[in-house]
Amino acid sequence: MINPLATADLYLDKIDFMKYLPEGCSGECGYSSCKEFLDALQKDNRALDECIFLKRNHAYAFEAVGMIKDLWPQVPLLTHPRPGPTGLVELNQPDAQSMVLITGNNKFTQDVLLTVLGTTLCPFYVVFTDTDGNTIDMAMIYKTFTAARITRAIQISGLGEKNLTKLMVIPGLAAEIQEDIRKETGWTVRVGPECAAELPLYFSEIWIPP
């Protein structure tokens, strides 16, 4: 029997913080290693002020991940789909050069992603593709997050006229269909992180603080 209080795996343990630290660290921050710095950061965000190699946006991206862990909703361990709305959402007045994020229409997925994106003023287009309400991991199993569905969602959204970059970022859990999406849509397709909370670090150069 499933524990009704059990929560879904949001893949926080998949975040490799080390790869987002700048090269050239020399111990000038007072920590003997980047690992020691990250351990300190888990306990107190003030450690961010001690790293002279982190730019403002980059430092804020680390801070945002910590905030997201406290802000995002508790997601129950799902046993059935929970459909949310599909279609295009425009955040922070995106323009023709703004980033395009592709995800599914599970209600909890949407709540989690919008919580994450609420920590920045960076403009985004977000396309909620019809996955029959499945989370991305389950949609990959049931094949409801596909190149054909993504292509259809983009066509309906009108993004072809709004966005000039023709560049999309898909969830890391959908990496296996990256090439299928590229062929189907004609867009450049990048694979994002598996955990939505990693997005501030993935986009650290543009993750503008509110």
pLDDT, tens digit, 9 for 90 and up, residues 48-93: 766 777 788 888 998 898 888 788 777 776 558 999 999 999 999 9
- Give exposure, 102-141, as e/b (b: 16+ Cβ within 10 Å): bbbbbbbbbebbebbbebbebbbbbbbbbbebbbbbbbbe
Q: Parse the chain into domains and list their residue ranges.
A: 87-195
For residue 147, what pLDDT band results from cuts at 50, 70 and 90?
very high
For tokens 């913080």, the residue is 17
pLDDT, tens digit, 9 for 90 and up, residues 4-15: 444 655 677 888
Q: Which CATH class is domain 87-195?
A: alpha beta
Residue in 68, 152, 54 with CA at minimum distance from that of residue 112: 68
Do 189 and 210 contact (CB within 8 A), yes or no?
no
